[in-house]
Amino acid sequence: MQPNARLIATGLVCALAALQAAPLAADGVGFVNMERVFAASPQGQAVQQRLAEQFGDEQQEFAVREREIRQMQARFERDKPLMSKAQVDKTEGEIKERIKQLEKDFADIQKQVTKIQQEEGEKLLEPAQKAIAAVAKEKKITAVFEINTFDPNRAGMLYFEQGSEVDLTEDVIAALKKK
């Protein structure tokens, strides 16, 4: 047997051993999309409402400024063939300066929004973890993982019922010794 084939076979043996032992240990494994929990929960919606109230005016101002820059760019592109080199340079400089200032102002506001979201998210985490544990116990789920909206294949442990774990280490070592 080639080394890669031996490695694959060993991996399959380990996986089968784990799959056979898992039903004995757990009534179920669940997952929670925490982004959706924070977005759909009353607490999360209250945070979003607060952010909208606190930064709504700035958001509208940014939209107006962005629209003005786009209009300025469109006029510039339309009139550019008729402009002198000095006028072209001046207008390009004005547009670049407006874009730079808009990006700077937006970044400043975005930092504030992110800070508030993180602070409020931390406040929501403890009640969310308690709710996850309560739901897991009610549904007889022994392990709950967090899935990511953007990459459902990546998950992190959120809840694990103590005493439901099965240590497969010795079984895996024994299976490897048989090879």
pLDDT tens by residue, 82-124: 999 999 999 999 999 999 999 999 999 999 999 988 888 888 8
Averaged pLDDT, 121-142: 84
Place of tokens 């240590």: 167
- 103 plus 114 within the same structural domain: yes
Q: Give CA–CA dist 126/157, Å, rounded.
A: 15
Q: Give CA–CA dist 166/132, Å, rounded.
A: 22
On the CB side of 149, CA atoms within 13 Å amount to 7
pTM of the model: 0.56
Domain limits at 45? 27-163
- 61 plus 144 within the same structural domain: yes
- 50 plus 133 within the same structural domain: yes
Confidence of residue 33 (pLDDT cuts 50, 70, 90): confident
